[in-house]
Chains A and B, each alone.
Chain A
Amino acid sequence: MKVLVFIKRVVDYNVRVKVRPDGSGVDTDGVKMSINPFDEIALEEALRMREAGQADEVIVVSAGTSDCQQQLRTGLAMGADRAIQIDTDKPLQPLTAARAFQALVEQQQPGVVLLGKQAIDDDNNQTGQMLAALWGRPQATNAAKIELSGDTARVTREVDAGLEVLDIDLPAVITTDLRLNTPRFVKLPDIMKAKKKPLDVVALDGLVSDAGNDLKIGNWSPPPQRGKGIMVDDVAGLVTELKSRGLL
């Protein structure tokens, strides 16, 4: 069985992002980029499936410019067997990404598709769901535990009310949550081995025609600065103040 893992190149979680002065987006010049942490968990899970003998091949995929090959190489160093870069110089919105992924999934015929529940840059939490719908296969999101057995998977999900257990037929899309596992560190010799593993590049246009984004982004702006606080004399004063601001 093949496992396909989608990873996104995002601004590292340690970086304090800044909006560009012209409001055209977040400034990524010279900023440290990493694999989206949720996707890293997805990759770790795929590697564990292969180590447990439940998968034969782990393929790691990313979409973007050749810059994202850096993250793909990291994925290969972690242990993925091969990598595919979907080449595009445009940032992809979830639906466009899902359409491209669907085309790739149909080519590769994986038994399981894994990806993070969301990417930490835009926090959309959409791509996995859209991919499952387009592909017409089951989905289990926010996975905290995955048990494979034959043609099915039992997925424990973290939901507001606690834990929900789903049995789904494979192939399926599973999106991963924080507590699923702790990703391994790369080993230095594997960095050298990763250089020799196959990394294919496919053009976005070759996967989907009309690959344009559907949503127009108007403007980016940082959250407003927090204003100065005031002191109130008593609870009544607090209530009055909150009401006057329409907060109560």
Chain B
Amino acid sequence: MSTSPLMDLRHLDFLLYELLQIEQLTQYPRFNEHSRETFEAVIDLAHQLAETQFLPHNRKSDLNEPRMVDGKVVLIAEIGAALDAFNQAGFMAVLADYDDGGMQLPFVISSVCDALFSAANPSTVAYPALARAAANLLHVYGTEEQKRLYMLPIIEGRYYGTMCLSEPQAGSSLADIKCQAQPQADGSYRLTGAKMWISAGDHELGENIVHLVLARISGAPEGVRGISLFIVPRWRVNADGSRTERNDVTLAGLNHKMGQRGSVNTFLKFGEQGDCHAYLVGEPHQGLAHMFHMMNEERIGVGMGAVQQGSAGYLYSLQYARERRQGRHPDQKDPATPPVLLIEHADVRRMLLQQKCYVEGAQALGFYAAMLVDQALDPDKNVRRESHLLLELLTPIIKAWGSDYALRANDLAIQILGGYGYTREYPVEQYYRDNRINPIHEGTNGIQALDLLGRKAMMQDGAALQALFKRMAASAQQAAQLEGLDGFAAQLLSGIKLAGEVTAATGQRMLAGEARLALANATHYMTMLGHLTIAWFWLQQAMIAQRALPDANAADVDFYQGKLQACRFFFATELPQIKHLAELVGDADQSALAMRAEWF
């Protein structure tokens, strides 16, 4: 068994090499210098750095949240030290081109590395994650000069970056942002406005911070069609790349959070002196589209970050249940007998199995989706098209189902530790608090559900959903041939039918102009389709386990039996819930929609 607190490493190998068979990615010219050997070496290094540089200060960050001293953010020193090690090892450049000093690795490998860092310390990894997102955007939409001045220093680990979307009056509702950009004669802009919830918005970790800011150019149309994207450097930069004076960006305050306290969250003001230099990225009024270009990757990142907190709690509570003795079996009450281990109790096993199903199921889904990102490089047009469709559909599921159920896993980890789990002497309460942001940020889970049902399931006449169902049905057909799995195959097929029916019914209502009613139960739809998708991943894992068992060594026999049992558990206790959820969606239950504000 794996003894890593960050991830079950046998399960990770299983996902990458048995389920996803990621070595096939090395057929793409971009990755052809890679091999399983380099993938393993990179993952090993990520694990080593995560365990030695990120994990040890996870609690200290929680107990010492960032402070503002003389207008500057003060962080504990360990964060900078960990990020120096991260940068020196080259992790900022995992995805970047060889020509830009990068490693040109597949996104799925980068996701695995991120997962290990997130499990060790979600707050510290937020700094490079945001910087990398900014660099990725500039890679796609920046001019050559913008890439040289702002993207390369991020890849080199010298600059950090942020995403400035929300404003105090406009959180999820980006159509209502007010930040203004005045064009200047030299082609640059002067920005005025305020941005809220800006993670890593100010700190002294690097030489500079590249804020990517959404704002309206004067005279731009109202709503989302009038939003543009700007580079706002914290320090202005000369044409030769040297840093000059401070730009007019003010740290107006810090937000004090429930969890992830090591990642500073700020309120920023732009152009208080009327001199905030900003540079347009891409086309005017296309800012939101540009920003959303990277959204699938970002949302997979949030979902997987959540799942890794779930994983950390699962592994911790599993270890605890294996060691702590408490109580006796219902048919064995003799106080002279020693108490049994927690893991002997059926109800504790239930809680462990739930966590295992949520965490390992979502990890399979998340890395599968990450590989879909890589399949954008496939030479076959049809593969590219289908991968893209599936990615569009699965992304909100990873983000919302992943963060909802990973949080449930954290809740169960606390429950297994009992009173100790509720104390700060044990890490599981922090996992829960750190994880609680994930259903909120990067598009709340409510918004994800609307996106899933109202857009992704409906787009191109349901093409994405059909592609997903086709793959699910293919797995079910194979599973039907395997002893002990045929019942699950049938269960999955009837779930597909049910999900298809309620999606069609919702589509009808939307065509009939009843969008509000049709989408009133979108969250139930999310749970339903999420459960169905995770069931599919459990069936796939069970199939591999079933086939591998006859030739497995002793340790692997236990591992594969665990996979089969988790599959049985999910199909027995979780998947049947979709029937009820499907009814609520299919019949367009009105109990929430019809409620009135004054009746509360």
A73–B90 Cα distance when bound, in Å, is 18
A192–B101 Cα distance when bound, in Å, is 12
Q: Please, which residues of chain B bring their CB within 8 A of the CB of A189?
A: 90, 101, 103
Q: Using known A-B contacts A14-B4, A15-B3, A73-B37, determine if residue A186 contacts B89 with beta carbons closer than 8 Å.
A: yes
CB distance A188 to B37 under 8 Å? Answer: no
0/1 string, A67-84, CB within 8 A of B gives 1: 000100110010000000
Which of the segments B38-46, B66-74, B242-250, B573-581 contacts the partner chain? B38-46
Most chain A CB atoms below 10 A, which of B35, B90, B101: B90
The verdict on B218 contacting chain A, using a C-beta distance below 8 Å, is no
The verdict on B346 contacting chain A, using a C-beta distance below 8 Å, is no
CB distance B3 to A14 under 8 Å? Answer: yes
Q: Using known A-B contacts A15-B3, A185-B88, A187-B89, determine if residue A73 contacts B41 with beta carbons closer than 8 Å.
A: yes
Q: Please, which residues of chain A bring their CB within 8 A of the CB of B90?
A: 187-189
The verdict on A16 contacting chain B, using a C-beta distance below 8 Å, is yes
CB distance B554 to A29 under 8 Å? Answer: yes
Q: Please, which residues of chain A bring their CB within 8 A of the CB of B40?
A: 70
Chain A: CB-nearest residue to B90 = A188
Q: Please, which residues of chain A bring their CB within 8 A of the CB of B45?
A: 185-186, 188, 191
Chain B: CB-nearest residue to A34 = B44
Q: Using known A-B contacts A15-B3, A32-B9, A73-B37, determine if residue A188 contacts B93 with beta carbons closer than 8 Å.
A: yes
Q: Please, which residues of chain A bring their CB within 8 A of the CB of B554?
A: 21, 27, 29
Smallest Cβ distance from B600 to chain A, in angstroms? 53
The verdict on B556 contacting chain A, using a C-beta distance below 8 Å, is yes
The verdict on A162 contacting chain B, using a C-beta distance below 8 Å, is no
Q: Please, which residues of chain B bring their CB within 8 A of the CB of A70?
A: 37, 40
0/1 string, B118-131, CB within 8 A of A gives 1: 00000000000000
A189–B103 Cα distance when bound, in Å, is 6
Q: Please, which residues of chain B bring their CB within 8 A of the CB of A191?
A: 38, 41-42, 45
Q: Please, which residues of chain A bring their CB within 8 A of the CB of B48?
A: 185
CB distance A185 to B85 under 8 Å? Answer: yes
CB distance A185 to B49 under 8 Å? Answer: yes
Chain A: CB-nearest residue to B40 = A70
Most chain B CB atoms below 10 A, which of A15, A73, A77, A188: A188
A128–B37 Cα distance when bound, in Å, is 31
0/1 string, B509-532, CB within 8 A of A gives 1: 000000000000000000000000
Smallest Cβ distance from B256 to chain A, in angstroms? 34
Q: Using known A-B contacts A29-B554, A30-B553, determine if residue A186 contacts B41 with beta carbons closer than 8 Å.
A: yes
A188 touches which one: B9, B35, B91, B553 (CB < 8 A)? B91
Smallest Cβ distance from A48 to chain B, in angstroms? 16
The verdict on A197 contacting chain B, using a C-beta distance below 8 Å, is no
Chain B: CB-nearest residue to A15 = B3
Interface residues on B, range: 20 to 34
The verdict on A179 contacting chain B, using a C-beta distance below 8 Å, is no
The verdict on B283 contacting chain A, using a C-beta distance below 8 Å, is no
The verdict on A137 contacting chain B, using a C-beta distance below 8 Å, is no
CB distance A77 to B41 under 8 Å? Answer: yes
A15–B42 Cα distance when bound, in Å, is 20
A185–B2 Cα distance when bound, in Å, is 22
The verdict on B595 contacting chain A, using a C-beta distance below 8 Å, is no
Smallest Cβ distance from B346 to chain A, in angstroms? 26
Q: Using known A-B contacts A185-B89, A188-B94, determine if residue A30 contacts B555 with beta carbons closer than 8 Å.
A: yes
Q: Using known A-B contacts A73-B37, A188-B42, determine if residue A30 contacts B89 with beta carbons closer than 8 Å.
A: no
- Interface residues in B132-148 by Cβ distance below 8 A to A read none
A195–B35 Cα distance when bound, in Å, is 10
Smallest Cβ distance from B44 to chain A, in angstroms? 8
Q: Using known A-B contacts A187-B89, A188-B94, determine if residue A195 contacts B38 with beta carbons closer than 8 Å.
A: yes
Chain B: CB-nearest residue to A14 = B3
Q: Please, which residues of chain B bring their CB within 8 A of the CB of A74?
A: 41, 44
Most chain A CB atoms below 10 A, which of B38, B94, B556: B38
- Interface residues in A185-225 by Cβ distance below 8 A to B read 185-189, 191-192, 194-195
0/1 string, B267-297, CB within 8 A of A gives 1: 0000000000000000000000000000000
A111–B430 Cα distance when bound, in Å, is 53
CB distance A29 to B33 under 8 Å? Answer: no
A14–B55 Cα distance when bound, in Å, is 15
- Interface residues in B549-568 by Cβ distance below 8 A to A read 553-556, 559
CB distance B553 to A29 under 8 Å? Answer: yes
The verdict on B471 contacting chain A, using a C-beta distance below 8 Å, is no
A188–B553 Cα distance when bound, in Å, is 33
B556 touches which one: A21, A29, A187 (CB < 8 A)? A29
Q: Please, which residues of chain B bring their CB within 8 A of the CB of A32?
A: 2, 9
Q: Please, which residues of chain B bring their CB within 8 A of the CB of A73?
A: 37, 41
A187–B89 Cα distance when bound, in Å, is 4
Q: Please, which residues of chain A bring their CB within 8 A of the CB of B553?
A: 29-30
Q: A15-B3, A191-B41, A194-B41 are in contact. List 18 more A-B contacts (CB 8 A).
A: A14-B3, A16-B3, A27-B554, A29-B553, A29-B556, A30-B556, A32-B2, A70-B37, A70-B40, A73-B41, A77-B41, A187-B89, A188-B91, A191-B38, A192-B33, A192-B103, A195-B33, A195-B37
Chain B interface (Cβ < 8 Å from any Cβ of A) = 2-4, 9-10, 33, 35, 37-38, 40-42, 44-45, 48-49, 85, 88-91, 93-94, 101, 103, 553-556, 559
A-B contact pairs, 17 of them (CB 8 A): A16-B3, A21-B554, A27-B554, A29-B553, A30-B553, A30-B555, A30-B559, A73-B37, A74-B41, A185-B49, A187-B88, A187-B89, A191-B42, A192-B33, A192-B38, A195-B33, A195-B37
